[in-house]
Amino acid sequence: MRGYERCKSEAPNGTVSVPAQYQGLFISLLIHFWPIRFRALRTFHAVRPVQFSSRAVHTFSSFQLSTVEAQRHSWFLRGSWSFSRRHLQRFTKCRCRRLIDSAWRLVVFPCKRREDEGRRRRFRRREGDEAGDDGDSEDPVGEEDGYGAFCSHAQSEEIYQDLCSLHQPPPPTAAQGGVISGGDKREYVVQELVETERNYSDVLTSLLRHFARPLGSLLRPEESARIFFGIKELSEIHVGFHSQLREAHNGSALAQVFLDWREKFLIYGDYCANLTIAQNALQEACARNEVLNQEVIRCQQKANNGKFKLRDILSVPMQRILKYHLLLDKLVEETPREWVEDRRRLSKAREAMVDVAQYINEVKRDSDTLDIIKDIQASIVDWDVTEDTQLKDFGRLLRDGELRVKAHGDQKIKARYAFVFEQAVLVCKAGKGDQYCYRETLRLDDYRLEDRIGRRSLGKDSRWSYQWLLVHKQEYTAYTLYARTDEQKQTWIKALQDAMDNVNPAACHSTTHKFRLTTFDTARSCQRCGKFLKGRIFQGYRCDVCRLAVHKQCISNSGYCMPAPPPPPPPPPPPPPLPCEQALSTKLWFVGEMGRDAAAHRLEPREDGTYMLRVRPAGQPRLNNETNYALSIKADGAVKHIRVFKRDVDGADLYYLSESRFFKSVVELIEYYERTSLSENFERLDQRLLWPFRRVLAKALFDFHGGERNQLSLRRGCRVVVLSKEGDARGWWKGKIGDQVGFFPKKYVEEE
Provide the 10 A C-beta neighbour count for residue 531. 17
Q: Is 0.75 surpassed by the pTM of this model?
A: no
**Helix, coil or strand: residue 592:** strand
* pLDDT number for residue 299: 92
Contact (CB, 8 A) for 502 and 517: yes
- Taking phi first (over 0 means left), then psi (-120 to 50 degrees means alpha), and beta for anything else, what does residue 653 get? beta
Identify which of 416, 189, 207 has the alpha carbon closest to the alpha carbon of residue 296.
Answer: 207
Angle at 79 between CA 77 and CA 82, to 5 degrees: 85
- Listed in sequence order, the residues at least 6 apart from 207 whose beta carbon sits closer than 8 Å to its beta carbon are 228, 231, 235, 313, 314
**Which residues of the chain does CATH 3.30.505.10 include?**
589-691
Provide the 10 A C-beta neighbour count for residue 739. 15
Give the CATH fold of the 183-363 domain: Dbl Homology Domain; Chain A (1.20.900)
* pLDDT number for residue 371: 92
Residue 356's φ and ψ, nearest 5 degrees, are: -60, -45
Q: Is 316 exposed, middle or buried (0-12, 13-18, 19+ CB in 10 A)?
A: buried
* pLDDT number for residue 453: 59
Angle at 138 between CA 135 and CA 144, to 5 degrees: 140
* pLDDT number for residue 584: 76
* pLDDT number for residue 15: 39
What is the distance, to the nearest Å, from the Cα of residue 599 to the centroid of all Cα atoms in its chain? 45
Contact (CB, 8 A) for 751 and 579: no
DSSP letter (8 states) at residue 211: I
Profile the chain (752 residues) by mean pLDDT over runs of 10 residues: 40 42 46 38 35 39 36 36 39 39 39 46 40 37 39 66 72 47 77 91 91 91 93 91 85 89 93 93 93 93 88 92 92 89 92 94 93 91 74 92 89 91 93 88 92 57 81 88 91 94 89 91 89 93 90 88 68 51 72 88 87 84 80 90 86 84 87 85 84 84 78 86 76 80 86 78
- Listed in sequence order, the residues at least 6 apart from 380 whose beta carbon sits closer than 8 Å to its beta carbon are 391, 426, 428, 435, 436, 437, 438
Cα–Cα distance measured from residue 520 to residue 540, given in angstroms and rounded to the nearest whole number: 8
**Which residues of the chain does CATH 1.20.900.10 include?**
183-363
In angstroms, what CA-CA distances link 671 with 47, 104, 125, 664, 667? 64, 37, 55, 12, 6
- Listed in sequence order, the residues at least 6 apart from 282 whose beta carbon sits closer than 8 Å to its beta carbon are 227, 296, 310, 311, 314
Amino acid at 321: I
- Taking each helix axis as running N to C, give the angle between helix 251-261 and helix 340-379, from 0 to 180 degrees, rounded to the nearest 10: 20
Residue 412's φ and ψ, nearest 5 degrees, are: -85, 130
Give the CATH fold of the 589-691 domain: SHC Adaptor Protein (3.30.505)
Provide the 10 A C-beta neighbour count for residue 129. 9
Range 580-586, long-range pairs (CB < 8 A, 24+ positions): 581/615, 584/613, 584/666, 584/667, 586/724, 586/725, 586/726
Cα–Cα distance measured from residue 499 to residue 491, given in angstroms and rounded to the nearest whole number: 12
- Taking each helix axis as running N to C, give the angle between helix 340-379 and helix 112-124, from 0 to 180 degrees, rounded to the nearest 10: 10
CATH number of 391-503: 2.30.29.30
Q: 468 forms bridges with which residues in the sheet?
A: 481
**Which residues of the chain does CATH 2.30.29.30 include?**
391-503
* pLDDT number for residue 154: 60
* pLDDT number for residue 171: 57
Give the CATH fold of the 696-751 domain: SH3 type barrels. (2.30.30)
Give the CATH fold of the 506-557 domain: Wheat Germ Agglutinin (Isolectin 2); domain 1 (3.30.60)
**Which residues of the chain does CATH 3.30.60.20 include?**
506-557
